[in-house]
Structure 1
Amino acid sequence: MRIAVNAVPMLQDTPADTGNVITEMLYRLCRLHPDVEFLLITDCPWQPTVILPPNAQHILLKPWTGGRLGQYAWRRWQWRKAIRKYKADRVLCIDEVLPVPVDIPAYLMLTRQTEVLDRASTSKYIRQYTGILLFSVFMREQVNKRFGGLDAKIHELQPGVSETYIPLNWEEREEVKREYADGMEYYISVASIHPDNNIRPLLKAFSMLKKRLRTSMKLVLAGRLTHAGEEIAESLQTYKFRDDVIWVENPEETELARLIAGAYGLVHTAGADGLAVPIYMALRCQVPAVALYAGASPEAGGDAALNAVPDDITDLSEKLGALYKDEMLRSKLLAHITRAESWDEGALQLGRIITT
């Protein structure tokens, strides 16, 4: 069997910004099905940071022309022609709803971005897919809210976390705090610097926390700078508590795992996250979370997270303060942490669906 994969979104994978969800799933999928040939199709050159499995082949499909016209042609015609050219038996699209041949079973996997559902191409092509693969009840609700009659096609996959994320002992935590936070306790936010991740409200809530409790607590921001987030980054230069904010822009996975495991708590403020990967990372590291009651965050955190009211900076600040002041509350949250699975189960489910 030969499966054509739209691997363009995988080029944007990073530990902090996307959680490496696509990379984790595809690499494990390939290893679980050594008898299947996977064609990873991209529109630009790509040098994988990890060697591809032997049954995976990268195919560079260059756009016919440059600019927006070239991208439109690639998605509208070139991609579909490539599926025919390489005689694919199945199609897997990830985080982008592209046109697919009607006579070839095609599957759509959506990870974190709900804005994909609002694109014109999604409305036009989503019904062409045999199955829709999601990681949360929230994303299922979003699909059903926008497109009626698709629920029978939806499959929910098990979210996971890389095995790199493990708890640290006391000495290891102290070492991380000395390395990044002058030996002080810190909260960590794992997200790109982008308005959708509510970084500015988080900074305001952190200011309120500092003023109210006069604490030495610090805030670590782990994630890349986006074009839309440039003003947020510039505002950090004049932010009153800028000396207490540590920005780690492009952490490798091992560094990010240490940062999360060394944190007093994780704060997740993305408003419409379809798969709250940072919360799963934190729980696997035995670190409690404060999260907005929005998106897939409540189902990710469960009873091991404090939920803050969306668009309420005061409530977010109070939740951060409650976790900081109350060791019994923190211990209670830690006691509710359940086992966070690796990506193996999700990849196993995905393989069963698309190879049957």
Structure 2
Amino acid sequence: MQSIVYHIDPLLEEPASIQASTWLEAIPELTAVLPGYRHIALTQQAGLALEPENPLELVSLVPAKPSLLGAAQSRQQLLRAWLSKHRPGLFISFDPESIPPPGTGNTILISSATTLLSGGSKGSVFSGFFKKVDSVPGFQAANVIVVPSNADKDAISERFPSLSSKIEVIYPALQEPIEPLGWSQQEQVKLRYSGGRDYFLFAGELSEDHEPIGLLRAYSLLKKWLMTGMPLVLAGSATKYTPTLEKLLLTYKYRTDVSVYPDLESSELQELVSAAYALLWPLEPNGRVLAKGNGYPVEWAFNAGVPVLGSDIPAMNELGAGAALLSPPGDLQQQAHSLMMIYKDEQLRNSLIAKGRERILKLNRHNTLMAYASVVRNFCG
């Protein structure tokens, strides 16, 4: 029986991201659409255990005793030796720094243009076994690189043309559907986060890449035009930039109408999305691709019947497919106008909600897992 090995350590890193946690939940479901294989969760972390009903078999590669080579090289040797010995039908990784060298079997890398083109490196577990060839990085050893959009594929291919034929596009729509909240539940959420008022919501990583200052400027224009009391809520994973953002808000003219909620639990963030008047994701991103493909708030909004506003960039066009109201990046006047239209035009708002519900019929976990299963079968039959 062929083995499919999932290197899960990149999904276990702290702080845990929502997308990583969702992948951990989805992998057992992927095994259900790939029967007839031995599914292995491979880890080099000590003390890890799976739930009894989990269909994955856990293999731990933890050194029995300290090595004179050091922790990194010890992990390198253990993983390379295990792959060489067992020769699995497929090795699936979520970290470009953990792609094994050629000759150890077929490999699928699941990543994004943001990650692959960042140039950053935490230190590959295989850094001692291969080097860059013709300016192409070590992740070239993967047989297939799965990215979340054609915009990601184009960005990577532009930088590394030789990798174009290896790239497959599968948007990671792996979120469980969330239901619209009832009136009383919505009111409770509003009381907790916005003083009982309807609110615009940005839900995502609170990072400089999403240029929240641009969003605040567009919001300022809206306040100037309409004198509306509808607040703006920013919620999501904190980053090194988050304290800077909070400090800047202390001098913001409309600071009493802006709230920041970093590092909420996933369930709390879902409630915020479900009760929002509109989701802003994001209005002024940096570049043409969504950061790491983490558009999960958009999936939640489509499911919950919340209209989505975003940037007119290739990746967002692919994700929304006409179900979101888009503005040119950097065009504060148009961004503010979009906010005003969604605030004043109930027919437009209802139209976007309906289109979002149509979009989610294609953008869902079942379709995503079937797409991944198709890629896997190309290697394993």
Q: TM-score, normalised by structure 1?
A: 0.84
Per-residue deviation, residues 31-71 of structure 1 (Å, max 9, x unmatched): 43465444444555576898782324263657x89xxx966
Aligned to 1:102: 102
Residue 128 of structure 2: aligned partner: none
Deviation at 1:295, TM superposition (A): 5.0
Letter in 1 for 2:328: V
Query: SS where residue 349 of structure 1 aligns?
Result: helix
Contact 2:107–2:143 under 8 Å retained in 1:
yes
8 Å Cα contact 1:280-1:301 kept in structure 2: no
Unaligned runs of 5+ in 2: 121-131
Report the CA distance between 1:90 and its aligned residue: 1.6
- CA gap 1:42/1:189 in 2 versus in 1, 3 angstroms: farther
Partner of 1:319: 338
Distance in structure 2 (CA, Å) of the matches to 1:180 and 1:46: 38
Q: Is 2:246–2:260's contact at 8 Å kept on the other side of the alignment? A: no
- Cα 1:349–1:301 shift into 2, 3 Å: closer
Deviation, 1:195, is 0.6
Within the alignment, does 1:141 sit opposite 2:154 as a pair? yes
User: Cα distance 1:95–1:236, how it changes in 2: closer, same or farther (>3 A)?
Assistant: farther
Are residues 1:5 and 2:6 paired?
yes
Match of 1:227 in 2: 240
Match of 2:269 in 1: 256
Q: Residues of 1 paired with 2:55 and 2:364: CA distance?
A: 22
Whether 1:203 and 2:251 are equivalent positions in the alignment is no
Distance 1:15 1:170 in 2: 32
Q: Which residue is equivalent to 1:343?
A: 365
Q: Deviations over 1:48-97 (max 9, x none)?
A: 898782324263657x89xxx966x5786664344335553321121425
Out of 239, 246, 265, which is 2:259 matched to?
Answer: 246
SS in 2 for 1:177: helix
Residue aligned with 1:142, SS = helix
* Cα shift at 1:119: 2.8
The DSSP-based 3-state class of the residue aligned with 2:117 is helix
| TM superposition shift of 1:15 | 9.0
Letter in 1 for 2:371: Q
| Residue of structure 1 equivalent to 2:126 | none
Task: Give runs of aligned pairs for residues 48-197 of structure 1, distance below 5 A.
Answer: 53-57=54-58, 59=60, 61=62, 73=73, 79-84=79-84, 87-103=87-103, 104-111=105-112, 114-119=114-119, 123-197=136-210
Amino acid at match of 2:93: C
Cα offset for 1:186?
0.7
Match of 1:285 in 2: 304
What is the rounded CA distance, in whole Å, between the counterparts of 1:74 and 1:259 in structure 2? 45
Structure 2 CA distance for aligned equivalents of residues 74 and 309 of structure 1: 49
Cα pair 2:323 2:352 within 8 Å, conserved: yes
Q: Is the 8 A contact 1:4 1:88 kept in 2?
A: yes
Residue ranges of structure 1 left out of the alignment (5+ in a row): none
Relative to structure 1, is the Cα distance of residues 156 and 109 closer, same or farther in structure 2, using a 3 angstrom cutoff?
same
Map 1:37-48 to 2 at 5 A.
37-42=38-43, 44=45
Write the distance in 2 (CA, Å) between the matches of 1:129 and 1:220: 41
Q: Which residue of the partner structure matches residue 322 of structure 2?
A: 303
Contact 2:173/2:299 (CA < 8 Å) preserved in 1?
yes
CA deviations over 1:317-354 (Å, ceiling 9, x no partner): 22212211221221222232214143122122213322
Task: Tell me the secondary structure at the aligned position of residue 227 of structure 1.
Answer: coil
Q: Which amino acid aligns with 2:346?
A: E
Aligned to 1:334: 353
SS at match of 1:119: coil
SS in 2 for 1:132: strand
Aligned 8 A contact 1:284 1:339 in 2? no
Task: Measure how far apart 1:291 and its partner are.
Answer: 0.6
Q: Is the 8 A contact 1:305 1:333 kept in 2?
A: yes
State how far apart, in whole Å, the 2-side matches of 1:60 and 1:79 are: 7
1:236 maps to 2:255: no
Q: Give me the whole-angstrom Cα distance separating, in 1, the residues matched to 2:346 and 2:98.
A: 49
Alpha-carbon distance in structure 2 between the residues aligned to 1:181 and 1:47: 40
Q: 1:47 to 1:248 in 2, by over 3 A?
A: farther
User: Quick check: 1:108–1:131 contact (8 Å CA) kept in 2?
Assistant: yes
Structure whose CA Rg is larger: 2
Q: 1:136 to 1:14 in 2, by over 3 A?
A: farther
Q: CA deviation at 1:105?
A: 0.8
SS in structure 2 at match of 1:234: helix
Identity %: 25
Between the two structures, name the one with larger relative contact order (CA 8 Å, sep ≥ 6): 1
Deviation for aligned residue 1:266: 0.5
| 3-state secondary structure, aligned to 2:349 | helix
**1: CA distance, partners of 2:231 / 2:20:** 23
Alpha-carbon displacement from aligned partner over 1:186-239 (angstroms, at most 9, x marks no partner): 111111221112222222222332233211111222212212433113223333
Partner of 1:353: 375
One-letter identity of the residue aligned with 1:343: R
Q: Give, in whole Å, the separation in 2 of the partners of 1:86 and 1:189.
A: 46
